[in-house]
C-alpha cells in the first residue's frame, strides 16, 4: 500500500521534566495517526471509524522526540485479518526515526460488542492503495 502520513507539531505541555516529549504523548499521537488513516479509508460514509477498537499496541521508542520540530507519523503497512487490521507505523523527526509501532485494531459492531468481518470495500481499498 501507499504510505499514509500526518504531520504533528509537538505541543509544549507534551514535554516532561526530562526535557523531551513524554512517552504518553507519543501513544496519543499514534491514536491520531490511526484514526486519520481509518478516516482516509472511509471515504465519508463508508465506515464509522468508531467501530474500530484498539486491541493491542506495541511501541518502540527508538530515540528521543523534542519540542520545536515537526514529527511525521506514517502508516507504512495495513494488513487485514478476518475482523482485524494490523498497522505498522513509524515516526520521524528531523530525519531521525524516533518511533516504530504496531497496532492491532478490531472491527466491532459496537452496539452488540462483537467483532465483525472487515468489510469488502475496506479490503479492496487497502489492496488498491
List of residues contacting a copy of itself (CB under 8 A): 11-13, 15-20, 22-25, 27-28, 31-32, 35, 50, 53-61, 67, 110
- Minimal distance in Å, beta carbon 20 to a copy of itself? 8
**What per-residue string of b and e applies to 60-76 under the rule 16 or more CB within 10 Å gives b?**
eeeeebbeeeebbbbbe
Nearer to a copy of itself, 51 or 76 (CB): 51
Quote the least distance from Cβ 123 to a copy of itself, whole Å: 23
Q: Which is nearer to a copy of itself, 3 or 49 (CB)?
A: 49
CA distances from 79 to 17, 19, 55, 106 (A): 38, 36, 15, 12
β-bridge partners, 106: 53, 84
CB of 5 to a copy of itself, least distance (A): 14
Amino acid at each position: 500500500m501507499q504510505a499514509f502520513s500526518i504531520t504533528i507539531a509537538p505541543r509544549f505541555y507534551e514535554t516532561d521534566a526530562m526535557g523531551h516529549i513524554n512517552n504518553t504523548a507519543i501513544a496519543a499521537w499514534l491514536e491520531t495517526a490511526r484514526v486519520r488513516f481509518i478516516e482516509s479509508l472511509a471515504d465519508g460514509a463508508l465506515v464509522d471509524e468508531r467501530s474500530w477498537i484498539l486491541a493491542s499496541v506495541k511501541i518502540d521508542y527508538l530515540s528521543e522526540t523534542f519540542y520545536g520540530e515537526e514529527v511525521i507519523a506514517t502508516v507504512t503497512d495495513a494488513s487485514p485479518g478476518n475482523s482485524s487490521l494490523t498497522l505498522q507505523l513509524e515516526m520521524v523527526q528531523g530525519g531521525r526515526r524516533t518511533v516504530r509501532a504496531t497496532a492491532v485494531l478490531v472491527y466491532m459492531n459496537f452496539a452488540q460488542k462483537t467483532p465483525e468481518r472487515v468489510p469488502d470495500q475496506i479490503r479492496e481499498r487497502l489492496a488498491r492503495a
